[in-house]
Structures are given as C-alpha cells and as structure tokens.
Homo-oligomer: A and B are copies of this chain.
C-alpha cells in the first residue's frame, strides 16, 4: 500500500524564502498570511491529506463510482465522510471572497493545498477542484443575484460545481456545439442537449450540484461567437435558499475509464433544464476561460502532486528492496544484498523526479502569486505584468507539469521492477490517474498552441519580453555571488535557446502558421525548462542565504544545492534539443500526404 507525506516543509521554504510572500503584506488578504499562519494551515491541510484522503485513494480506485437505475451515482466508501471533513475544515473557501464566506487568503496557499489534495487522492480532489473553478467563474462573471444565491453554499462546501463543455462530436472545437438555451419570459433559459466527460457530474457527496453549461441561444451568431454560459442547478433553489424541485438534468451514464475511477465522469442529459445566464449573451467563452484558466493551473498542480507521491513511494521502495551490490563495493555488508538506491540508474530516476518536483512546486506557487497580484496589486503596471506572466505560464504549467507527472509516475513505477506492475502496490494507479491530466482541460497539444499561437504574439510579444527582462534581472541579482556561477552559466545557455526559438517563431510563423504548430510542443517544453531553471536559481540563492545565516538545518539547504546541480547538469540542457525541433520548421512535419499515413 502506498503512503503519502505532505511536503509541508518544502512548501513553507518556497513560500517564505523563495517566493517571499512577506514582501506582499500590503495586498488584501496577505496581511493575514504570516509564516505562523501559513505553517498552521499547511500542517492542518497535510493532516487531512495524509489521514483522510490518502487512505481512501486505492480503495476508491478499486471500487469506483456506481450509477443506479434512477440516474443517481454513489461514490466509493469513505468519500462522503471525507468530503464533509474537507468542507468543515473550510478548505473550499481558503482563497474565496470573504463577502461570500471565504477566507480571502492568497492563492499561493490554496495552490499548495491543491497539491496536497492531489498527492493524496486525485479522484477525490477533483470534486472540490471543479468547484473552485466554478466559484471563480461565478465570482468574476455572474450577476450579484446569482452570486448571492449560489456562492455562499459553494464556498461552504455544501454544494459542488461542474464545467459542461464537451459534446459527443465536439471537444476542442466548441463552435460546433448543439446544446441550445431558449429564453423564457422570466429571464431564465431552458437548456437542452447532451454533454459528455463531465467530471463530478453526479454524486452523493452534497445535496446539490451547480452545473456551468455552455449552450447556444437560437438566432445568435454562428460558431464559437454564439456560445453562452449558463448556471444550471441540479435542484432548483428557492428564495430562502432551501432546495426545490429537481431540475431537468440527469446523468445518462458514467464512463469506464483508464483511471480516476473514484471520480464520476458523466454523460449529462439536459432536457429543458432551467438555467440562468452567466455574463453576457454569446460571450460564454470569455466566462468559461476564467474557469478554464483556473482549472488549467489546477491540472498542472495535479501532475505535480502525483509526481511527488510517486517519488516518495519509489524512494521508500529503493531504500527497502535489497538487490545486487553497489558498483563501488557493498554498503550493506551484513545483508544479503544492498538496497537498490545504491545503483546509479535508480538514483538517476529518483533525482529526475526530485529535481522536477522541487522546482515545479516553486513555479506553481510563484505563478499563483502572479494570479493574486493581477487582481490585488494596487499598481496597474504590476497588475498587467502579473497578468501577462500568468497568461504565459498557464499553458506551460498545464502542459509541462502533466507530461512530467505522467512520465514521473511511470519512472517511479519502474523503480519497483515487476512489483510496480501489480495493482496492490498502488504505483500503477498513479500512472493511470496521471494520464488524464495530459488530456482534460484542453489536451497538452492545445496548451502548446495556446502558448505559441496566442500568448506569445499577443500585444507584440509583450509577455515573453517581460519574462526575458525578469530573467535578466534575476541573473544580474544572483551574479553578484561567485558561488552562483556554476548555475548561471547553464541558465544563460538555456535562455539563449529560448530566445533563439522565440525569435525563430516570431520571424517565421507569420508567413506560415504551420511553423508555429510544428514547433509548439517543443517550445512549450523549452519554456518550461527555463521557468524551472529560473526557480532553481531562486532556490539556490535562498539556500546560500540560509547557509550563510547559520541555519540550524544545513542539510536541508545543502541538499537543495545538490539537487540544483543535478537539474542544471542533466535536465536543463535539453533546451537545445527543443530549440532544434522548433527551428526544424513545418516541412518535415507537414510533407506527408494525409492519405499516406
């Protein structure tokens, strides 16, 4: 049976010493996030993850969800009780608006909690995860009336939320959707259509479910420009907040999937269901993107959470399993063999995961801070820059973290040899669960296209220019310390690769957009490596400062330096291969006739 240890120490290190949250105490909500409070919150969250969520992860996978003939869905044993504890702990509202009952704390904290939940139990964490996205969309786009009616219950964890986009014939290309919304005289709409792949679409965790549904109002513009967003509750809500009649939405079936068995993936049939417009008519995609951007960062963090738990278990196994002898002579002389962690190829696997996890955790929390800054900073220039950086990093975190999450879960499973393939060890579940993160909320190919086709050229390339300027100032700042030279040199080479690839795309993609498409995934991974390198520079700097200041835990900081050296020697230089792929252009990719494949 796998275990999970909440990485609270690494999180507080990143928040206090790398991202340095205390520098932003002037922002609303940040004044409460003192190091003591942060520590207390993450320890409490870690306890929930370790003691409540993790123990029902493997059993939840084995049991799965069950749909009954009446369309109701039962979640696995223990999920309802766990959700109650999650809601009672106030976790749903950690960063939500105080006026609707939230705690208004920085997203840096709720992002850290997101990792803990996903590391412990991804299928469980999707139920609150989707609710967070729905809360974000309602908060930013819905009328005050809808907010007052729905947000308090959702923020309290009494009700959950969903996102309804996909239909059988359209996923990425939502302009083709057929679901329709007919306006009624009372200002509501009647929604009719079929939505598929609706995570957490039906369950027994809460008494109501608030669906956010994309549909077309008849007579509106064609395609994606005629799509509107609606709020459709499972049960109607009376004026006094009590629940009324069942609405016209029902779960037609649940999907048989590769993984995340404990999350119900539903076909939802809307048959004249009553809904209310969120935002403006035909501007549904704008509202949906608020939700999707929040969800995409959340999915990236899912990849990180799975990579972390897979790493922890692989480390435990590598320290326990005796097999063979160290190449340089026995280290466990009295035993029949050495633990496999002595073998360099096993360490290579573990170091790959460790160096990713620690850098990615910093990047996730750094990006969450940009998300706070873009809304809360009093300085307009800072808000804009944070919004630009957030936009640039969102597809990178979604795409790169989930590709890594899957690869790393696979690598951790590999450390187990044959036992990794056997269900009872639990490693293969991490792989099956991680696989969905590369697909949902926009496949990683779509993330890459969002990056090179939208985020990169937008505003004349302002975001990436701002990022290069930031990297420059980080290196200048770090460069004053001679001990940073060993890290700065490979970082400069990686930045040069990113600059070269960016320049190539800007010069060539205008004349042939297939150049952008052909290099998109490689470019996304290139930017991801540079962004991780950026974090490792900050981590190393923080480690030197702690060591210079006579920390009581020098091992912790020295291990940061050791792990950084692995990252800069073995992982970051892959930027060269990514750049070469970008600069190979469209021809090799597009030359074959479609019918010749």
Q: Which of A196, A418, A431 has the most CB atoms of chain B within a 10 A radius of its CB? A: A418
A439 within 8 A of B: yes
Residues 517-543 of A at the B interface (beta carbon under 8 Å): 517-518, 520-521
Cα of A219 to Cα of B418 in the assembled complex, Å: 30
Asked if residues B319 and A597 are in contact (CB atoms below 8 Å), the reply is yes
A37 to chain B, nearest CB (A): 29
Q: Which residues of B contact A255 (CB under 8 A)?
A: 422
Q: Which one of B166, B337, B569 lies within 8 Å of A418 (CB-CB)?
A: B166
Counted per complex, copies of this chain come to 2
Tell which of A41-49, A141-149, A323-331, A375-383 binds the partner. A323-331
- Asked whether A257 is an interface residue with its Cβ less than 8 Å from the other chain, the reply is yes
Q: Mark A407-449, 1 if CB is under 8 A from B, else 0.
A: 0001001100110111110001001100110111001110011
The complex places the Cα of A339 from the Cα of B594 at a distance, in Å, of 10
Contact call A414/B439, Cβ cutoff below 8 A: yes
Is A341 within 8 A of B563, CB to CB?
no
Contact between B592 and A414, CB atoms less than 8 A apart: no
Q: Which residues of B contact A570 (CB under 8 A)?
A: 581, 584, 588-589
**Interface presence of A171 (CB below 8 A):** yes
A217: CB under 8 A from chain B?
no
Which residues of the other chain, B, contact A574 by a CB distance below 8 angstroms? Answer: 577
Total contacting residues, chain A, CB less than 8 A: 96
Shortest A424–chain B CB gap in Å is 7
How far, in angstroms, from A592 to B417 measured CA to CA in the complex? 22
Q: Which A residues contact B (CB, under 8 angstroms)?
A: 166, 169-173, 176, 196-197, 255-259, 315, 318-319, 322-324, 327-328, 336-337, 339, 341-351, 354, 406, 410, 413-414, 417-418, 420-424, 428, 431-432, 435-436, 438-440, 443-445, 448-449, 512-514, 516-518, 520-521, 555, 559, 562-563, 565-566, 569-570, 573-574, 576-577, 580-581, 584, 586-597
With A345-B517, A348-B589, A566-B591 already in contact, 20 other A-B pairs whose C-beta atoms are closer than 8 Å: A172-B417, A176-B337, A196-B418, A256-B422, A258-B422, A258-B423, A258-B428, A259-B421, A315-B597, A318-B597, A327-B516, A328-B514, A343-B517, A344-B589, A346-B445, A410-B435, A421-B439, A555-B596, A559-B593, A565-B588
